[in-house]
Structures are given as structure tokens and as C-alpha cells.
Amino acid sequence: MRAAERNTGGPLATASGTPSVFGAVHLGYLVIETNRFADWRRFGTDAIGMHRDDLDTGVTRFRLDDQECRFLLRRGPAEDVVATGWHIDDHAAFERIEARVRAHGVPVRVGTAEEAALRGVERLLRFPGPKGITQEIYTTPVIAAEPLRMLASGFVTGEAGMGHVAITSARPTRLRGYFDTVFDARLTDYIDETISGVKLKIRFLRVNERHHSLAIAAVRGLPIDPVRTRVQHVNVQVTSLDDVARSYQRVSELGFEMALTVGQHTNDKELSYYVRTPSGFEWEVGWNPIVVDENTWEPSTHQGISVWGHRPVGQTIIDKLGQFGLGARSLAHPERTVPALSGAGIPDD
């Protein structure tokens, strides 16, 4: 039973009285634009341990489970995540989301047959998202005919989705407003972190039983986005502690740059490490986070991101904040927030 249906006999209602889609939404895939295909193939297959399918010289897909595509790599200069795909449980919830987006005057485009085939889905809809990341929804994933060939013993997907995405933002309240409007996202908790005198506040949002599918980090009191890429990191969850250890060893031996050593987070208790991808954003491999109980959960604030570990390796976000040019560029180019869906009139914390 989905979280949105517990104790209600059906979907919960939103503030406007329409049925909620919470619990019917699951992070399904990411689209990454890159020209570094050789490095990405080594990274995804030999380091992280995913299944790889090379469709041609400019298209590669990675699988985590029986779904045909979890990561779509296409050739291009962005070196970044350019689209996020959300698996919607049924056509009714899909059409409810579509109606919301259209009602706010935001353009919606039906995905072409080729776009849907590349993503391994049947029904595809695309519309603008925060920070220039296109949001895509689909109803039916294609199940792969070929068995998995991967070094990892398995990844946790299912009702919780395939992991989470973390974004840095100079407009965190508007990002939260966007995902609340579109997906009825709920606030799970906050983390306050102070590093070298710089205060960070991180919001964690969930759309199903996973502790969070989205994390939004902001520098408190400063309208600066310290990260070049649209996403700060991507998370995948492995099925065993042994998978964490073995992938950490492979990442190190293959020469990929570690970002944070193994540690455990304060809020979701996930044990993980972070490595820098060939495109520059980070990739978290995690194990055993808590699952939210909708009947008892209350948002809270945690001090610091880690109970132990997660020691930084090399240049950190805080180091980048010291680069005046980066801060100036952030101020000169306002962040895209899709105001019609973001609550443009509300102030940022």
C-alpha cells in the first residue's frame, strides 16, 4: 500500500482539494549529457558496478535492475544531468500531474517515440524544471529482455525509486515549492552545517517511502550557488555493505577522484561514500538508509551531515565559495526556478 493511502481508504487530498499523488511518484532515471564516454563507461561499469548497454557511439545506458534504462548518457557539451525521469504508478496520477502543470501555464511536450524508446518507457511527458533540468514523467517502464551483467550484487529500487538527487540552490524555497506543486513532495527534515564559518541549510524532500528523493542545499544568507553543475550529487543504494566496500575499492584502484570518504549521515543513517564523476558532479553509493513511516514521522533539524566519516578529499564546496569569480557569476545569472510552479511570491529562507 502506498504511503498516501494509509489510514484514508484512498489518496490524500491536497490543499486545493484534489487527490494527492504522493506515493505514486518514484525517481526512475536520469539523462546525462557528456562527451566523456570512455571515462563514463569505465566509471559506471568497472567502478560503480552497473550493467551497461552501448546503443551507439553517442548513446549509452546503465541499468540497476530489470528496468531497461536507469541512466541515459547522450553526447553533448553540458557534462551534467539535463533531465530527471519520474515513474508514475498509473495513468490517473500521470494525468493529474499533467493537468497541474498545464493549469499553471507551463509548456508541456509529449515525448517522441524515439525519446521514449531511448529511456525505456512507453508514455512520456516533458516540461521545464528548476535549474534548467527538464522534468519528465512516464507510466510504464520497459522490462529488459537481457539478464543483468554487473559487478554489484544488486541495487535497491522498487517503491522507493532508484535513489536521490541533490541540488544546490540560491532559491531553495522556490525549489521546494516547485516539487510540492508538481509531486506533492513532503519535507522530511533539515540539516544545518557550518564549515569554515559558512552556514549551509539542506532540505530533504520525499515523494514516497524513501527518506528523500531530493535534497536542496543552500548557503544561508547568501544568494550564491557554489556548484558549476546543475546537480551536486546523484545517489544509488546498493543491497549490501559488501557492495559499498567493494565499489569503494574499485573506484580507488581505477583512479577516480574521491570526494568524501565512507561515513554515516545524521538524518537518514545511510552509510555511504562520494566519488567525482567524469562530468564533475558527485556520485554517492549508499547502503541501508531508514524508511519513513508516514504514520509517525515528524520533520526535525539535525546538526551536521555526518555521525562519523565523510571526510572531504580535495577541493570542497566551501573551498569553491572562496572563489570570488564564481560567486559573482552566480549573482550575475539568476537561477531558473520556473516561477509559475514555484510560488514566485514567497521569500527564500
pLDDT in tens, 77-119: 999 999 999 999 999 999 999 999 999 999 999 999 999 999 9
Higher pLDDT, 334 or 205: 205
The answer to whether position 151 is within a domain reads no
Three-class secondary structure of residue 158 per DSSP: helix
Nearest-CA neighbor of 185 among 347, 349, 341, 10? 341
Place of cell 553509493: 285
What grid cell was written down for 37?
564516454
H/E/C letters for each residue in 330-347?
HHHCCCCCCHHHHCCCCC
Whether residue 120 is found in the same domain as residue 167: no
For residue 91, the domain's CATH number is 3.10.180.10
Whether residue 114 is found in the same domain as residue 163: no
Instruction: Write down the mean pLDDT value for the chain.
Output: 90
Model confidence at 328: pLDDT above 90: no
pTM of the model: 0.92
The answer to whether position 149 is within a domain reads no
Q: Is 42 exposed, middle or buried (0-12, 13-18, 19+ CB in 10 A)?
A: middle
Domain interval for residue 235: 158-339
The answer to whether position 5 is within a domain reads no
Number of domains the chain is built from = 2
Whether residue 132 is found in the same domain as residue 217: no
Whether residue 121 is found in the same domain as residue 167: no
